[in-house]
Amino acid sequence: MSKYVKDLLSKDISNRLEGVTDCVLANVIGLDANSNGALRKRLREKDISLLVVKNSLARRATEGTALAPAFEGVGGTNAVLWGAEDFVSLVKEVEDLNQDEDFEEFETRGGVMDGEQLSPQRVAEISKWPSRAEQLSMLVGQILGPGSQLAAQLTGPGSALASQVKEKAGSED
């Protein structure tokens, strides 16, 4: 491949990965056409992008970016996955694919988060973290918990008093 073609390809990869700061690397080599189509469809439904790249071209394209550590010490061809609602949601989906028997050849190879290279084991650990939506629901629950308890404490005696007044008013008839 000529230097000119390599430059064109690395610029294209760089443009596609522009603005991406976190990603996961996976091996998708060995998937047949039907499995590959099913994998890409499943990822599209979760708003996850997949790009299969040669590592040397990816290194050139990501040089000086937050994604550069992901390609250090990795050989062969890899699929770069990015997107989803947040990074934890992406990692959870990748780990689900890792466990799915329909995609036996799919294998997590690492990634990068906040400029730090991740091993496959670290990716598996991150998949157990709560996603953004789960964290927000926990936070809302913690915020609303004391308020609902206070409201119950304020309305409880009032409703008990109102029922007693109603009972007394009904017995005079």
Kindly tell me the number of DSSP H helices and DSSP E strands found in the chain. 6, 5
Cα separation, 29 vs 42, in Å, equals: 17
Question: Residue 172's pLDDT is what?
Answer: 58
Convert the pLDDT of each residue in 47-80 to its tens digit.
999 999 998 899 999 998 999 999 888 887 899 9
Check: CB of residue 52 under 8 Å from CB of residue 77. yes
Tokens of 77: 């061809």
- Strands (E) across the chain are located at 23-27, 48-54, 77-83, 107-113, 116-118
Check: CB of residue 115 under 8 Å from CB of residue 66. yes
Q: What percent of the chain has pLDDT over 70?
A: 98
Has domain 3-129 been given CATH number 3.40.228.10? no
> Mean pLDDT for the chain?
88
